[in-house]
Amino acid sequence: MIKAIDHIGIAVRDLDASMQLYSSIFGVTTFHREEVPEQGVAIASFELNGVRLELTAPLHEDTPIGKFLASRGEGIHHVAFRSDAIGADLERLHNEGMRLIHETPQRGAHDMQIAFLHPKSTGSVLMELCAPAADASHT
């Protein structure tokens, strides 16, 4: 089942500039930084009362986030929802006729298993399901 908002993904061109901006707004002093080559991204994230904001920059232009920036520019990219059984949720959504970008969970940042739903099936909101990798093996 889908239980909570886990994080909000924000597409940015320049991670360092963006970290400065978010530091100014929120007074954040510590970011978690990570590169996820499988997703073609570098992220810097911080948490506000249990909801993570994930600043996401492309590792190179020919990546989904690079293409998003080229066509839409910087801004909100996706909303990620925490699932306690990501495999079962994907199967349920698939059976309901939803288009999925990932039919099976992929490795994401923060040692999470992630999968994106296709925005054509979600009213143009890019949605991600995620679950801690340790939990995903139970699904």
- Which residues contact Co ion by CB under 5 A? 9, 80, 128
Question: Residue 103's CB: how many other CB atoms inside 10 A?
Answer: 11
Backbone angles phi, psi at 63, to 5 degrees: -135, 160
Nearer to Co ion, 72 or 97 (CB): 72
Q: Which is nearer to Co ion, 36 or 85 (CB)?
A: 36
3-state DSSP assignment of residue 117? strand
Q: Would you say 121 and 99 are in contact if contact means Cβ atoms under 8 Å apart? A: yes
Say how far apart CA 24 and CA 61 lie, in whole Å: 28
With respect to Co ion, which residue has the nearer C-beta, 41 or 93? Answer: 41
* Other C-beta atoms lying within 10 Å of the C-beta of residue 83: 26
CB of residue 57 vs Co ion: minimum separation in angstroms? 13
Minimum distance from residue 30 beta carbon to Co ion (Å): 19
Residue 49 C-beta: closest distance to Co ion, Å: 18
Q: Which residue has the tokens 């510590």?
A: 30
What's at 72, amino acid-wise?
Answer: R
Question: Least distance in Å: CB of 79 to Co ion?
Answer: 9
Residue with smaller CB distance to Co ion, 80 or 115: 80
